[in-house]
Amino acid sequence: MAVTVEEVVELVRLQLGRGIVRRSDRLMEDLGADSADILNLIVAVEDRFGISIDEEDLARLATVDELARLVAARV
């Protein structure tokens, strides 16, 4: 199954309660996520796409686009 960037963007939008989310948005600085929000976002991604994201991946995730590429690579 191919995961589109749009699906990941939509999930970020729902999780963070944002009207508009762009691929280039940084999760913390632009979208106002705190550390708990990031962890909840990861849990939602794991539930939604049936993948697992480990600690090392997490440390490297800054933008929506990076998250989308990580998800696409794992599914």
- Contacting positions for other proteins (CB under 8 A): 10, 13-19, 28, 34-40, 43-44, 47-48, 55-56, 58-59
Catalytic residue flag (residue 34): yes
Contacts 24+ apart (CB under 8 A), 5-12: 5/65, 5/68, 5/72, 8/45, 8/64, 8/67, 8/68, 8/71, 9/64, 9/68, 11/41, 11/44, 11/45, 11/48, 12/41, 12/64, 12/67
Nearer to other proteins, 40 or 65 (CB): 40
**Catalytic residue from among 25, 30, 34, 54:** 34
Query: Least distance in Å: CB of 73 to other proteins?
Result: 19
